[in-house]
Homo-oligomer: A and B are copies of this chain.
């Protein structure tokens, strides 16, 4: 048995107990009433880093939620790895669909069940324990920095400014992130692309007060009817987005690369079964993996207006709202897209309503080249633990800050994710298999070893 395996075995119960303390803090960044929990989570991370062997760790104020930064510098000439993770989690509604309390983690069926079990408390915490092992065993051969932020789930609005301000402190040779998934427990993969994101809230106002739908219906614009038409007009029947200029900067992926992508193990039947759908849907001319991997999307994430209680209330409401997002692919500029959508949505509004479009947040897409030394180190690490070379994949998800790191700090990130598609992140009953949690702690120290080797140390 390898030394790291022994270390995990001996401490596995303690690792879980410590992680659960972190998970129990309901650090939902999108809800202002959880502001104090963000500070509790930041202090908890400081404690975790110091306990694991950091020389120093501090909670930093930002314009928004706090950031925890910690480091251990073994040698100014050694390569430096900066671990990025986030302490914030998504809201838990619809809370009625959770089988257990989202903030009281339980272990069942070999998995941890809780909000943040995977995204990103479980995955972030693996790095603290891998680091602890390297420090305790005297095998740490890189400088290590930890940057744990509290606004990832709301688009990291304060982190770019923090990075600019602390550019020197955050200098590194690579940023290491576990906030993505692998294809399957027996098909390791490394995410080499992330989609960008733009997110808006729209408000459509018809009459200035709710009206009786009998007395006024048919003669005054109903903002729900209008909003539905406007959303409908944003895509065509082939799933193409009709915002003028939307596709202008999209780089079409080559036939060759698409052929390679098509070789990744994937069963459409299994995919449909796992989601409970009879048919998939999406942009004409692209496969399911292409639709999430290399194509932009238009999704309404929320909609509301009028009477939503029990039974039948007739009303012609004054207002209707929607939360609308697009996922963007490499080369699409989220700020440009943000403006194109505002312009388009305002332009298609009939004169009988008022439309307000607010851009809430966004971020660029990201691509990691597979010949990067850090990528090769990650590849070797996975291969050793999982017995298979990891597949490079483009993910449909977005971590806007990754592209920003490249822009501000000039540092590439490697996305060593250990999540699974079945982890239900952002959904009720989020979970994280113990096997993936412990395998992550086994794999990360190997990354440090091979990365130092790649860097000639």
CA distance A376 to B154 in the complex (A): 67
Whether A259 is near chain B, meaning CB under 8 Å from some CB there, is no
CA distance A149 to B94 in the complex (A): 37
- CB-defined interface of A38-49 with B at 8 Å, one 1/0 digit per residue? 000000000000
Whether A229 is near chain B, meaning CB under 8 Å from some CB there, is yes
- CB-defined interface of A315-327 with B at 8 Å, one 1/0 digit per residue? 1110011110101
Interface contact A209-B314, CB-CB below 8 Å: no
Total number of A residues with any Cβ neighbor in B under 8 Å: 101
Whether A280 is near chain B, meaning CB under 8 Å from some CB there, is yes
Contacts of A353 in B (CB 8 A): 277
Interface contact B327-A360, CB-CB below 8 Å: no
Interface contact B305-A217, CB-CB below 8 Å: no
Interface contact B280-A301, CB-CB below 8 Å: no
Whether A1 is near chain B, meaning CB under 8 Å from some CB there, is no
- CB-defined interface of A173-197 with B at 8 Å, one 1/0 digit per residue? 0000000010000000000000101
User: Of the candidates B195, B232, B292, B322, which one forms a contact with A229 in the assembled complex, judged by CB atoms under 8 Å apart?
Assistant: B232
Which of A247-255, A391-399, A446-454 contacts the other chain?
A391-399
User: Of the candidates B213, B298, B309, which one forms a contact with A30 in the assembled complex, judged by CB atoms under 8 Å apart?
Assistant: B309
CA distance A277 to B219 in the complex (A): 11
User: Of the candidates B210, B212, B323, which one forms a contact with A306 in the assembled complex, judged by CB atoms under 8 Å apart?
Assistant: B323
Known contacts A232-B229, A276-B208, A325-B213: does B313 contact A222 (CB below 8 Å)?
Answer: no
Whether A216 is near chain B, meaning CB under 8 Å from some CB there, is yes
The A211-233 residues at the B interface (CB cut-off 8 A) are 211-222, 224-225, 227-229, 231-233
Whether A260 is near chain B, meaning CB under 8 Å from some CB there, is no
Whether A380 is near chain B, meaning CB under 8 Å from some CB there, is no
CA distance A278 to B425 in the complex (A): 44
User: Of the candidates B30, B292, B312, which one forms a contact with A215 in the assembled complex, judged by CB atoms under 8 Å apart?
Assistant: B292
CA distance A158 to B168 in the complex (A): 75
The A286-305 residues at the B interface (CB cut-off 8 A) are 288-289, 291-292, 295-305
Whether A32 is near chain B, meaning CB under 8 Å from some CB there, is yes
Whether A160 is near chain B, meaning CB under 8 Å from some CB there, is no
Residue on B with the closest CB to A31? B310
Chief secondary structure at chain A's binding surface:
loop
Residue on B with the closest CB to A295? B218
CA distance A55 to B441 in the complex (A): 85
Known contacts A30-B311, A301-B314: does B288 contact A219 (CB below 8 Å)?
Answer: yes
Contacts of A224 in B (CB 8 A): 231, 299-303, 322
Interface contact A313-B304, CB-CB below 8 Å: no
Whether A256 is near chain B, meaning CB under 8 Å from some CB there, is no
Q: Which of A90, A298, A302, A428 has the most CB of B within 10 A?
A: A302
Name the distance in Å between A221's Cβ and chain B's nearest Cβ: 4
Residue on B with the closest CB to A226? B281
Name the distance in Å between A299's Cβ and chain B's nearest Cβ: 5
Residue on B with the closest CB to A153? B313
Residue on B with the closest CB to A315? B301
The A69-99 residues at the B interface (CB cut-off 8 A) are 90-91, 93-94, 97
Whether A235 is near chain B, meaning CB under 8 Å from some CB there, is yes
Interface contact A314-B303, CB-CB below 8 Å: no
Contacts of A201 in B (CB 8 A): 312
Interface contact A281-B220, CB-CB below 8 Å: yes
Contacts of A14 in B (CB 8 A): none
Interface contact A396-B218, CB-CB below 8 Å: yes
Interface contact A217-B315, CB-CB below 8 Å: no
11 further A-B pairs in the complex, CB-CB below 8 A; given A229-B231, A278-B351, A301-B317: A90-B313, A209-B427, A211-B427, A213-B327, A214-B395, A215-B395, A215-B396, A218-B291, A225-B298, A228-B231, A301-B315
21 contacts between A and B (CB under 8 A): A90-B313, A91-B307, A155-B312, A199-B312, A207-B276, A208-B276, A214-B327, A217-B299, A217-B327, A218-B282, A218-B291, A218-B292, A218-B296, A218-B297, A219-B280, A231-B232, A232-B233, A306-B323, A312-B323, A313-B323, A314-B398
Q: 7 smallest A-B Cβ distances: which pairs?
A: A208-B276, A214-B397, A218-B297, A232-B232, A302-B306, A30-B311, A281-B352
